[in-house]
Homo-oligomer: A and B are copies of this chain.
Amino acid sequence: MIDFSLPPELADLRERTAAFVRDEVIPQEPYMDEHDGLPQDRLDALRARARAAGLYAPHVPREWGGLGLGMREMAVVFEQAGRSLLGPVALNCAAPDEGNMHLLHVVATEAQKERYLRPLVEGTIRSCFSMTEPHPGAGSDPALLRTRADKRGDRWVINGDKWYISGAGGAAFTICMALTGERLDGRAGATMFLVDAGNPGYRVIRQIPSLDAGGAGGHCEVEFRDCEVGEDAVLGEVGQGFAYAQVRLAPARLTHCMRWLGVAQRAHEIAVDYANGRESFGKPLAQHQMVQQLIADSAMELHAARLMIWHAAWVIDGGGQARQETSMAKTYVSEAVGRVVDRALQICGSHGVSTDLPLAMFYRNVRPFRIYDGPSEVHRMVIAQRILRDAARAREAAPAASEAIAGAIG
């Protein structure tokens, strides 16, 4: 039955995560370099405290050392973690490692898990995911994938260019998506490969200066030039790359939403406190109706965003792929959190623009979310196409059920 309650242990985990972020993580923010993250010693200390607090790696199965949370539980906890850009890093549930851990857990062999998943969970290494390509390759349209891997004997040889590979700087390995079939029909023919950073055929060319910082390791251009890997580098089955991409992308899209919701909620609360603490035109800012309107709009959108995330998480927890639900959640949430941060910044005026408050940083970092993980335009196209297709099928199946509109729509 429809229910929005949190079991006591989840409510407790939520409160403890919130307290940890408030008391431990946010005080570290002044030491964060936006491009390099927290200095390693501070990060190590912070993660040690997270482990001690029983908050570390919430999304990782218990047998691999995490809290073993399902998607709904993650939704609740990640939002709290996301209140600081450092929070997910502290709990080791930040992108892109979080999505890679999930993918490795589902698809990798035991040997691959030991080699890649274990240190990733332990936080001794970082990773990245090499999928997006520069023009005219695979950007928002994955069908344009151009990176290829060819079998030569028992080796695979990868060639291609990737860009906007988040976290590539300093990553110990990357998961590379490459064409392996003769041709691309029906999305068949791609395979994922595990490529070590030390592979001589793999190179990080540059960090792309960007509106957002992209977290530790930045957004990078990387290249694969006659990059040789063995059979043991194949992740899952040959030819299943696009299917695995879905395994990774739908949940990863949703965990992004969860974390950004935390950022937006914090921005909103900063603005609320600011409005309570300031005067303008003879009365507290909080009593100006235009400010109230900004606050009310943000409250409603944060509420709707949270519910859409929870709903999509529930579908995934029930075994569904939740493509439509995650597309809707991603599109709505990415736009809503942008508006919420924008309103918060507006309320705080010049303080909002300055770096005295974290709002300007949030403003820059949240903007690209409307582009990566599928631009809003592509999601809207796909959302509508599914609805239109389902309606056409339903109408075919039960033409009589099409109400009284037949006359009008011919």
Please list the residues of chain A having a beta carbon within 8 angstroms of any beta carbon in chain B: 1-7, 10, 22, 26-27, 29-30, 72, 75-76, 132, 135-136, 139-141, 143-144, 163-164, 208-212, 219, 266, 269-270, 272-282, 286, 288-293, 295-297, 299-300, 303-304, 307-308, 310-311, 313-315, 318, 328, 331-332, 345-346, 348-357, 360, 363-364, 367-368, 370-372, 375-381, 383-385, 387-388, 391-392, 395, 401-405, 407-410
Contact = CB atoms under 8 A, between A and B. Distances in A.
A148 B273 CA distance: 30
Contact of A349 (B139, B291, B346, B356): B139
Nearest to A221: B354
B387 A272 contact: yes
Contact of A272 (B163, B345, B363, B391): B391
10 contacts: A1-B72, A2-B76, A210-B354, A211-B345, A211-B353, A289-B289, A293-B293, A299-B328, A300-B383, A346-B376
A82 to B, nearest CB: 15
Contacts of A383: 292, 295-296, 299-300
Contact of A367 (B76, B363, B409): B363
Q: Give the number of copies in the complex.
A: 4
Given A280-B140, A289-B288, A331 B300 contact: yes
A139 to B, nearest CB: 6
A312 to B, nearest CB: 10
A164 B136 CA distance: 44
A384 B292 contact: yes
A367 B345 CA distance: 10
Of A270, A280, A331, the most chain B CB neighbours within 10 A belong to: A280
Given A210-B353, A387-B295, A300 B288 contact: no
A19 B407 CA distance: 21
CB-based closest 10 A-B pairs: A292-B384, A289-B289, A296-B380, A211-B360, A307-B307, A209-B355, A304-B304, A295-B384, A296-B383, A3-B3
A83 to B, nearest CB: 9
B292 A163 contact: no
Contacts of A303: 308, 311, 328
Contact of A10 (B1, B140, B314, B395): B1
B405 A274 contact: yes
A342 to B, nearest CB: 8
Contact of A26 (B164, B367, B404): B404
A37 B219 CA distance: 26
Contacts of A368: 350, 353
